[in-house]
Amino acid sequence: MRYSKQREVVFEVVSKSDDHPEVKKIYERVKEKIPNISLGTVYRNLNTLSADNQIKKIISFDGEHFDKTTYEHYHAYCDICKNVFDVNLKFLSDTSEKIEKNTGIKVISCNFIIKGICHNCQKNKKERED
Partner DNA sequence: TTATAAGTAGTAATTATTACTATTTAGAGG
Partner DNA sequence: CCTCTAAATAGTAATAATTACTACTTATAA
Applying CB under 8 A, does 1 fall inside the site for a copy of itself? no
Choosing among a copy of itself, DNA, none, which partner's interface includes residue 44 (Cβ < 5 to 8 Å by kind)?
A: DNA
Helices 5-15, 23-31: inter-axial angle, 10-degree rounding: 120
Task: Kindly tell me the sign of the dihedral angle through the C-alpha atoms of 85, 63, 80, 93.
Answer: negative
Residue pair 77/115 in contact (Cβ under 8 Å)? The answer is: yes
The window from 39-47, 86-94, 97-105, 121-129 that contacts DNA (CB under 7 A) reads: 39-47
Q: How far is CA 15 from CA 94, 100, 115, 120, in A?
A: 24, 29, 25, 25
Applying CB under 7 A, does 104 fall inside the site for DNA? no
Nearer to DNA, 22 or 72 (CB): 22
Nearer to DNA, 5 or 88 (CB): 5
Min dist CB 5 to a copy of itself, Å, is 30
- Binds DNA (CB under 7 A): choice among 23, 92, 113, 117: 23
Min dist CB 28 to a copy of itself, Å, is 25
- Binds a copy of itself (CB under 8 A): choice among 103, 124, 127, 129: 103
Rounded CA separation 14/20 (Å): 8
The DSSP bridge partners found for residue 60 are 63
Rounded CA separation 57/49 (Å): 9
Min dist CB 52 to a copy of itself, Å, is 15
